[in-house]
A = this chain, B = another copy of it.
Amino acid sequence: MIKARVTVTLKNGVLDPQGKAIEGALGTLGFSGVAGVRQGKVFDLEVEGTDSAKAEADIKQMCERLLANTVIENYSISMS
């Protein structure tokens, strides 16, 4: 079993109202000095097999086709 973590984040320049809301909420809670918050997603995948290179290629395809919207999001894959 191969485990991998995919992290999907918004590209620079894409507005992130959810992150802005969190930034505001942190200020309300008394955390001053928070200059920016951007929210993203993380997917922990378990893939059957032992061929890590093949699994990574498959996961890249999964990112392109489903997990990330590559118009506005970047993704990174870390195998573990």
- Give how many copies assemble into the complex: 2
Count of chain A residues with Cβ under 8 Å from any Cβ of B? 32
For residue A61, which residues in chain B have a CB less than 8 angstroms away from its CB? Answer: 31
Is A45 among interface residues, defined by CB-CB distance under 8 A?
A: yes
CA distance A78 to B48 in the complex (A): 29
Identify 25 residue pairs between A and B in the complex whose beta-carbon atoms are under 8 Å apart, listed by A's number.
Answer: A7-B7, A7-B42, A9-B42, A9-B44, A19-B43, A22-B43, A22-B66, A22-B67, A25-B66, A26-B66, A29-B66, A31-B61, A33-B49, A33-B58, A34-B45, A34-B46, A35-B48, A36-B45, A36-B46, A37-B44, A39-B41, A39-B42, A39-B44, A41-B41, A42-B42
